[in-house]
Amino acid sequence: MKMMEEKLKIDKISKGTVIDHIDAGYALTILSLTGLDESKNLITIGVNVSSKKYQTKDIIKIENVFLNETQMQQISILSPNASISLIENYKVIEKKKVKIPKIIKKLILCVNQTCISNSDEPINSEFLVLEEKPLKIQCVYCERIYKLEEIVFTSKEKKEKIVKQRIQL
Amino acid sequence: MKMMEEKLKIDKISKGTVIDHIDAGYALTILSLTGLDESKNLITIGVNVSSKKYQTKDIIKIENVFLNETQMQQISILSPNASISLIENYKVIEKKKVKIPKIIKKLILCVNQTCISNSDEPINSEFLVLEEKPLKIQCVYCERIYKLEEIVFTSKEKKEKIVKQRIQL
Local confidence pLDDT in tens for the 169 residues of chain B? 344 444 444 567 899 999 999 999 999 999 999 999 999 999 999 999 988 887 999 999 999 999 999 999 999 999 999 999 999 999 999 999 999 999 999 999 999 999 999 888 888 999 999 999 899 999 999 999 999 999 999 865 544 444 455 666 5
Tens-of-pLDDT digits for all 169 residues of chain A?
344 444 444 567 899 999 999 999 999 999 999 999 999 999 999 999 988 887 999 999 999 999 999 999 999 999 999 999 999 999 999 999 999 999 999 999 999 999 999 888 888 999 999 999 899 999 999 999 999 999 999 865 544 444 455 666 5
- How many beta-carbon pairs below 8 A join chains A and B? 127
Q: What pLDDT is attached to residue A30?
A: 95
CB proximity list for A106: less than 8 A, separation 6 or greater:
A124, A125, A154
Burial (CB count within 10 angstroms: exposed 0-12, middle 13-18, buried 19+), residue B37: buried
Q: What pLDDT is attached to residue B10?
A: 59
How distant is the Cα of A35 from the closest Cα of chain B, in angstroms? 11
Q: What pLDDT is attached to residue A53?
A: 81
How distant is the Cα of A60 from the closest Cα of chain B, in angstroms? 9
- Prediction ipTM score: 0.84
Residues A23 and A79: beta-carbon distance below 8 Å? yes
State the Cα–Cα distance between residues B76 and B98, nearest whole angstrom. Answer: 5
Q: Which residues of B touch A159 (CB under 8 A)?
A: 169
A41:B48 CB<8 A? yes
Facing residue for B165 by CB, picked from A29, A37, A162? A29
Q: Which residues of A touch B26 (CB under 8 A)?
A: 164
Facing residue for A154 by CB, picked from B42, B158, B168? B168
Q: How far is CA B112 from CA B86, B130, B137, B138, B139, in A?
A: 39, 18, 14, 12, 10
List the one residue out of B54, B53, B62, B8 whose CA is nearest residue B30: B62
State the Cα–Cα distance between residues A86 and A96, nearest whole angstrom. Answer: 9
B43:A40 CB<8 A? no
Q: Which residues of B touch A29 (CB under 8 A)?
A: 164-165
How distant is the Cα of A36 from the closest Cα of chain B, in angstroms? 11
Q: Which uninterrupted H or E stretch holds A62?
A: strand A55-63
How distant is the Cα of B132 from the closest Cα of chain A, in angstroms? 17
